[in-house]
Amino acid sequence: MSETGTTYREAMREAIREAMRRDERVFLMGEDVGAYGGCFAVSLGLLEEFGPERVRDTPLSESAFVGAGIGAALGGMRPIVEIMTVNFSLLALDQIINNAATLLHMSGGQFGVPLVIRMTTGAGRQLAAQHSHSLEGWYAHIPGLRILAPATLEDARGMLWPSLEDPDPVLIFEHGALYALSGVPRPGPVDITRAAIRRSGEDITLIAYGGTVGKTLSAADALAAENIEAEVIDLRVLRPLDDVTIMRSVGRTHRVLVVDEGWRSGSLSAEISSRIVEQAFYELDAPIGRLCAAEVPIPYARHLEEAAIPQVATIIAAAREVVTS
């Protein structure tokens, strides 16, 4: 870390700190977020700065503390609820889907749920099947939720505040392999509505999000050496999807590879692929390619884990396949 540089973890912490300073209704709660400083050390030091009222350790009951967060949001607070991993969020599915996502609708527009839930997702850290899955695609299925996947330092730093300003529930998925990402973030406003083109190219559009964006950019650089200029889209927002950015890009490149660390069947990559076929069929010059996780529980063994999820080399091979098909 240089003097002005930062890490994804620190950027996230800074975003929470800023939000808590700006708005006294904001508070953080979750397992081990206080005294331990967060399972991934995101909230390190925040308990000392803001006190136990605003940085609250919770019992190991996702359903209870997510429910409490919903109640607090209904009561006028702006809670940030941290769930350790997306796997554990399954215990809170009822609260998230039946309550947070539906109350605005069920109350005829009377009660919004301005709740932000942060959770870790993804594989690559040898944490085995119960801590490594990518289930954000499931959440992206649910109307009433906004789903974000910050993949850069800027988004880690900038997405939280607009999420807290959103009157409806927002889920932020932080890929576990990104916390150590370091660099100097570029200053500037961050929206939570649009996808971003991280690299321009005219031969193929590579669509990625979260943990696969960096790998996809590396793959694009390698492809350039083969004279294949890839455009890389970072989805950023998994729901609602930014169809316009995707379709415009497809209109330029006419070829697509979707890179998704989730499983292929019934996945976000399937949704994106369908939308492209629906909206940009006559722009396609090759079958849409998808590179997803192997359809197995993510293995513990390092070499098997690496083989199970998209890697730079497999992205290059899959992109080449689309370009030559």
Partner 1 sequence: MTGERWEFLMPSLGADMESGTVAEWLVKPGDRIRKGDCIAVIDTDKALIEAESFHTGVVEALLAGIGERLPVGTPLAVITGAAPAAELRPPTRGSPPVSPGEKTGMERRRREPSPAGGEHGPSWPHAPSPVTSPLVRHLAERHGMDAAAMHGTGPGGRVTRADVEGIEIPAKVKASPLARRLALELGVDLTGVHGTGRTGAVRADDVREAAARGSGTGPRAGTEQAVPGRAASAAGARTVGKPDLGRRQGLMRQAIARAMSRSNQEIPHYHLSTTVDMDTALAWLRERNRDLPVARRVLPAALLLMATARAAVEVPQLNGFWLDDAFVPGDAVHLGVAISLKGGGLIAPALHDAAGRDLGDLMAALKDLVARSRTGRLRGAEMTEATITVTNLGDQGVEEVHGVIHPPQVALVGFGKILERPWAVGGLLGVRPLVTVTLAADHRATDGYVGGRFLNAVDRLLSHPEEL
Binding mask 99-118 for partner 1 (x = CB under 8 A): --------------------
Do residues 176 and 120 touch, judged by C-beta distance below 8 A? yes
- Binding segment for partner 1 among 33-41, 188-196, 239-247, 277-285 (CB under 8 A)? 277-285
Among residues 254, 279, 294, 312, the one that binds partner 1 under rule CB under 8 A: 254
- Binding segment for partner 1 among 111-119, 162-170, 182-190, 283-291 (CB under 8 A)? 283-291
- Binding segment for partner 1 among 179-187, 226-234, 278-286, 308-316 (CB under 8 A)? 278-286
Alpha helix (H) residue ranges in 51-194:
62-74, 86-89, 93, 103-106, 136-139, 153-158, 160-165
Among residues 61, 107, 274, 325, the one that binds partner 1 under rule CB under 8 A: 325
Residue 240: both structure tokens together: 């609602």
Q: What is the sign, positive or negative, of the torsion defined by CA atoms of 194, 142, 9, 205? A: negative
Binding mask 13-32 for partner 1 (x = CB under 8 A): --------------------
Tell me if residue 131 is catalytic: yes
Residue 227: both structure tokens together: 């004279």
Does position 283 bind partner 1 by CB under 8 A?
yes
Tell me if residue 105 is catalytic: no
Interior/surface letters 93-128, b for 16+ CB within 10 angstroms, e for the rest: bebbbebbbbbbeeeeeeeebbbbbbbbbbbbbebe
Do residues 37 and 14 touch, judged by C-beta distance below 8 A? no
Active site residues: 62, 131
What residues make contact with partner 1 under the rule CB under 8 A?
254, 281-286, 324-325
